[in-house]
Amino acid sequence: MQMPSYILLYVTDPIASAAFYEGILGTKPVELAPTFALFVFGNGLKLGLWRREGVEPAAEGAPGSAEICVALPDRSAVDALHAVWAETGVTIAQGPTPMDFGYTFTALDPDKHRIRAFVPE
């Protein structure tokens, strides 16, 4: 079985997007260039930020059409992360709220990709 290990987002400005993700994820990119940035996490997952202009074949779909999810251990962790991100100016699209799958909030990156923090319930 093949296991996905890489998320690739098409962005307008990889350097600006990398600064955003460095700020919310607390880790520096291992690669940073005007057309591409790469984060590698301790669990092996990679997050690539590729400048939309120049993607081959051309990227279709609207900017911000992807969502990254971050599972947290409990509601208090969701509330705490929401408070930190909101305090630092991260755009919040949905405040903490219960949904059918669990307790969640949703933030937006500079290209309006969603970052959903949640605890399954």
What is the per-residue pLDDT for 49? 97
Percent of the chain with pLDDT over 90: 88
66-121, CATH topology level: 2,3-Dihydroxybiphenyl 1,2-Dioxygenase; domain 1 (3.10.180)
Decide if domain 1-59 falls under CATH 3.40.50.300: no
- Give yes or no on whether 1-59 and 66-121 have one common fold: yes
Distance (Å, rounded) from C-alpha 99 to C-alpha 97? 6
Q: pLDDT category, 1, cuts 50, 70, 90?
A: confident
